[in-house]
Amino acid sequence: MESSSGLCDNECLATVRCQELRSGVKEPRLLSLILENGDFVLGVLATPDAVVSRPVAQLSIPINARFELVQEAEEPLLINFSENSVLRIRIKGEKAPELQLELQDDDRTNLFLTQLKSAQEEAALKLIKSKPMEPLPPNTHRSPVPIPPQRASGRSAANQPASSGSLQTGFNSSTSTNQNTDPVQSLASDFGFEQNFCHALKVEEKKNHQNRITASREPPPVPSLPPRKTPSAPTNPVPPAPIMKSKATSSVGFDTSAISGAKSESLSWCDSPTSNSMRDTVFLSQTGQREILLKHILSKRENEYVDIKNFRFFVGTWNVNGRSPDSSLGPWLSSDREPPDIYAIGFQELDLSKEAFLYMDSSKEQLWIDAVERNLHPKAKYKIIQIIRLVGMMLVVAVKKIHVRSITEVASDHVGTGILGKMGNKGGVAVRFVFHNTSFCFVNSHLAAKLEETERRNQDYKDICARMIFNMPGSPSLSIVKHDVVIWLGDLNYRLFNKDCGDVKRMISEGKLKQLLKFDQLSIQRQTKRAFSDFIEGEINFIPTYKYEPKTDFWDSSSKNRVPAWCDRILWRGNKVELIEYRSHMELKTSDHKPVSSIFSIGVKVGDDQRFKKVFEETVRQIDRMENDFLPSVSLSKTEFFFIDVKFRQLQRERFLITNDGQVPCHFAFIPKCNQSQYCKSWLRAEPSDGFLEPKETLEIYLEVYVSKDSVTMLNSGEDIIEDILILHLDRGKDFFLTISGNYLPSCFGTSLETLTRMKKPIREIPITKLIDLGEDSYMEQEKSKVKFLIGDGAANEDRPLKIPKEVWIMVNHLYTKSCDQEDLFQTPGLQEELQHIIECLDTSIPDSIPGCNHSVAEALLIFLEALPEPVVCYELYQRCLECAHDSRLCKQLISLLPRAHRNVFRYLLAFLKELLKHSHNNNLTASLIATLFASLLIRPPPSSASRQTQQDRQKAIDFVLGFLMAGDEE
The DSSP annotation for 68-99 comes to EEEEPP----TTT----SEEEEEEEETTEEEE
Q: Which three-class secondary structure state does DSSP give residue 164?
A: helix
Residue 286 host element (H or E): helix 286-300
Residue 443 host element (H or E): strand 438-446
In this structure, which topology does domain 870-970 adopt according to CATH?
Answer: Phosphatidylinositol 3-kinase; Chain A (1.10.555)
Helix then strand then coil, % of the chain, to nearest 5: 30, 25, 45
Beta-bridge partners for 220 = none
| CA–CA distance, 411 with 251 (Å, rounded to integer) | 14
Please choose, from the candidates 292, 158, 233, the residue with its C-alpha nearest in 3D space to the C-alpha of residue 677.
233
- The pLDDT value recorded for residue 9 is 52
Domain boundaries, the chain: 10-74+85-126, 304-609, 634-744, 870-970
Please choose, from the candidates 267, 262, 249, 295, the residue with its C-alpha nearest in 3D space to the C-alpha of residue 136.
249
Q: Which three-class secondary structure state does DSSP give residue 103?
A: strand
Query: For the chain, what is the radius of gyration of the CA atoms?
Result: 29
The 3-class SS string of 497-508 reads: CCCCHHHHHHHH
Give the predicted TM-score (pTM) of the model.
0.61
Close Cβ partners of 660 (under 8 Å, ≥ 6 residues apart): 632, 633, 634, 666, 693, 694, 695, 696, 697, 698
Beta-bridge partners for 13 = none
| Cα 44–chain centre separation | 33
| CA–CA distance, 240 with 759 (Å, rounded to integer) | 38
| CA–CA distance, 51 with 194 (Å, rounded to integer) | 12
Q: Are 738 and 726 in contact (CB under 8 A)?
A: yes
Residue 639: count other Cβ atoms within 10 Å of its Cβ: 12
Which amino acid would we find at residue 120? Q
Please choose, from the candidates 719, 958, 914, the residue with its C-alpha nearest in 3D space to the C-alpha of residue 820.
914
| CA–CA distance, 304 with 359 (Å, rounded to integer) | 52
Beta-bridge partners for 438 = 435
- The pLDDT value recorded for residue 58 is 63
Q: Are 547 and 496 in contact (CB under 8 A)?
A: no
Query: Counting beta carbons within 10 angstroms of the beta carbon of residue 759, is it exposed (0 to 12), middle (13 to 18) or buried (19 or more)?
Result: buried
- For 416-574, where are the alpha helices, taking DSSP H only? 454-467, 501-509, 513-517, 521-527
Beta strands in 662-765 (DSSP E): 666-671, 684-687, 690-693, 698-705, 723-730, 735-744
Beta-bridge partners for 56 = 46
| CA–CA distance, 153 with 79 (Å, rounded to integer) | 10
| CA–CA distance, 120 with 244 (Å, rounded to integer) | 12
- Distance set, CA 440 to CA 137, 569, 602 (Å): 17, 18, 11
- Distance set, CA 268 to CA 264, 265, 288, 588 (Å): 12, 9, 7, 48
- The pLDDT value recorded for residue 197 is 33
Query: Counting beta carbons within 10 angstroms of the beta carbon of residue 848, is it exposed (0 to 12), middle (13 to 18) or buried (19 or more)?
Result: exposed
- Distance set, CA 122 to CA 118, 212, 309, 771, 847 (Å): 6, 22, 34, 57, 63
DSSP label at residue 514: H
Architecture of domain 10-74+85-126: Roll (2.30)
| CA–CA distance, 66 with 70 (Å, rounded to integer) | 13
| CA–CA distance, 401 with 342 (Å, rounded to integer) | 10
Close Cβ partners of 422 (under 8 Å, ≥ 6 residues apart): 77, 78, 79, 151, 217, 238, 416
| CA–CA distance, 670 with 653 (Å, rounded to integer) | 17
| Mean pLDDT of each 10-residue bin along the chain, 971 residues long | 44 83 78 84 71 52 85 45 64 82 81 84 72 44 38 37 36 38 39 36 34 36 37 37 36 37 33 35 50 83 93 98 94 96 96 68 88 96 96 95 95 86 82 96 95 92 92 82 96 91 93 94 95 96 95 89 95 96 96 97 94 91 77 93 95 95 90 90 93 92 94 92 95 91 95 91 79 42 46 55 92 93 88 92 91 92 94 94 91 92 94 93 90 92 87 90 80 45
Please choose, from the candidates 832, 146, 862, the residue with its C-alpha nearest in 3D space to the C-alpha of residue 464.
146
Helix pair angle (951-966, 900-917), 10° resolution: 70
Sign of CA dihedral 512, 515, 516, 520: positive
| CA–CA distance, 540 with 418 (Å, rounded to integer) | 29
In this structure, which topology does domain 304-609 adopt according to CATH?
Answer: Deoxyribonuclease I; Chain A (3.60.10)
- The pLDDT value recorded for residue 128 is 64
Domain 634-744 is in which class? mainly beta
Residue 409: count other Cβ atoms within 10 Å of its Cβ: 23
Pairing of strands 640-646, 735-744: parallel
Terminal-residue alpha carbon distance, the chain:
70
Query: Counting beta carbons within 10 angstroms of the beta carbon of residue 826, is it exposed (0 to 12), middle (13 to 18) or buried (19 or more)?
Result: buried
Q: Are 717 and 616 in contact (CB under 8 A)?
A: no
Q: Are 646 and 707 in contact (CB under 8 A)?
A: yes
Q: Are 515 and 540 in contact (CB under 8 A)?
A: no
Which amino acid would we find at residue 379? K
On the CB side of 150, CA atoms within 13 Å amount to 32
DSSP label at residue 762: -
